[in-house]
Amino acid sequence: MILRARFAAAILLVACLGGCVVGPNYHPPTPPAGADSPLVSLNPALETPTEPPDTWWRLYSDPELDHLIQLAFANNEDLAVAEANLSAARASLEEARNGLYPQTNINLGAIRGRDPTTSEIMEIGGQKPRTVWLYDDLIDVSYELDLFGRVRRTLQAARADAQAAIAARDSVKVTVAAETTRAYAEVCAIGEELAVARHSLEIATREADIFNRRLQAGGGSEFDLVRAQEVVANASAAIPPLEGQRRAALFQLTALVGQTPSHAPFEAEACVTPPRLFSLVPVGDGASLLRRRPDVRLADRRLAAAIARVGVATADLYPRISLTAFYGGAAPFLNQLASNPGLVWGVGPKINWTFPNQVGVRARIHYASAQSDAALASFDSTVLQALKETEQSLTTYGHELDHRQSLANAQDKARRALDMANGQFAAGAASPLDVLTSEQAVVSADAAVAASDAALIQDQVSVFKALGGGWASSTSSSAAGK
């Protein structure tokens, strides 16, 4: 009875220890104070605290842009790398799950020859040694009891790594969506600037022709003609750089959608007006921003993995206990492997423990703890970076809108001044120089508005990129394993 009681107590102790997991437990980190507050730079006249849609680029109602985004999601090489990294992380997770189950190993072999032991036995029995077939088999089984949670902490770390790989993939997707929109918008915006430049060249050429005819008729001066021709030359010189920039933007777009230059999406060059929003920009608030941005989720998952690895290292302070068993034998005939008297078997516990010298183990614990501290600091830094990028992009966007409005006002006045100059010139109350000066003012105003349109769409893309949209529609963004 005493022996049975001791055995039962031992079983109970093992069962209790089986629920013990050493090391710190993960708890969601608390963001810096004020991180979940409304965005400081939100302008009610320009933005709304409504949650932004994941497919934010559809707010521009541009079918060509929608097509390019889907093409990029399907073919972008950076996304392909991120997907491959995710597959590798999931494979590592499956390997970690393997530690929850018994480990088995089967060895089977067959050798033809003279085995020293067999020959000796035959000689003792009065027989001559001879060449024979010798078959052997051995099955090993071991199972770690995981009394202190080493296997479970390893699994937690691997699961967090897989989830981090998902977040990293999602971060790449956010970038791909934003940069594809940015490149397409640049093609369109430079198209608008080219249209302005070509229109300016047409006007300047027409004005030069007028001065030339006046000179030929004896009513003008060569000075006025040369000045007009200078304007023509400057207007003409502005076109080639814009054409080169537009083609460079097209090839940037080509790489983003995973195409070679010979298969560039040349149809995008039909766009000569930057995509425009016809509603307020939905930006949400600080709390939704942190939930939405995958880089924040990536930092959180890396922190979870680092904390789990502290538990893995801590478990090495304690004995690692496994149950092991083996079964096998050897025989000269294959059908005797399971019945010959030479069968061997065994079952019992196995203890592996680094003791009493645990300096190395404690060093690994200190290293893992330092890594978790660094991961926590990195999480806080990522949150601050996310808030900074959002506030900066909103501020820049708002001021560029004001800038664009001022330029539009100046453009209207320049055109009115040109109309007045033309009328006065026709009535003989203004000189050709007044008309030329007014024409140059309109050209400059048009160019400034086109440049502001280009900056404005880039600022809008920066806002949406900072808001972290563009990844949640992915079918593979679910959690990596349970």
Asked whether residue 137 is domain-assigned, the answer is: no
- The number of domains in the chain is 1
Give 27-33 contacts, CB < 8 A, sequence gap 24+.
Answer: 28/300, 29/300, 29/303, 29/376, 29/379, 29/380, 31/290, 31/380, 31/383, 32/380, 32/383, 32/384
Predicted pLDDT at 128:
79
Q: Is residue 478 part of a domain?
A: no
Nearest of 377, 376, 351, 369 to residue 313 by alpha carbon: 369
The pLDDT assigned to 121 comes to: 61
DSSP H helices, 316-431, are: 359-426
The string of DSSP letters for 251-293 reads HHHHHHTT--GGG--GGGGG--S-----SPEE---HHHHHHH-
What letter does residue 31 receive in the DSSP assignment?
P
Q: Which CATH number fits the domain that encloses residue 74?
A: 1.20.1600.10
Which residues contact residue 228 at a Cβ distance below 8 angstroms, ignoring those fewer than 6 apart? 204, 207, 208, 210, 211, 212, 436
User: Of 136, 128, 126, 131, nearest to 115 (Cα)?
Assistant: 131
Q: C-alpha angle 287/291/297, rounded to 5°? A: 135
Report if residue 220 sits inside a domain. Answer: yes
What's the CA gap between 458 and 469, in Å, rounded? 16
Question: Rg of the chain over CA atoms, in angstroms?
Answer: 38
What's the pLDDT at 479? 43
Distance CA 204, CA 238 (A): 13
Do residues 181 and 62 touch, judged by C-beta distance below 8 A? no
Question: Is 133 a member of any domain?
Answer: no
Residue 371 maps to a domain = yes
Write down the pLDDT at residue 122: 65
DSSP classification of residue 32: P
Determine, yes or no, domain membership for 407: yes
Domain limits at 212? 17-102+147-322+358-467
The residue ranges of the chain whose pLDDT is under 70 are 1-19, 117-118, 120-122, 124-125, 473-482
> Which single residue is written with the structure tokens 């330029």?
407
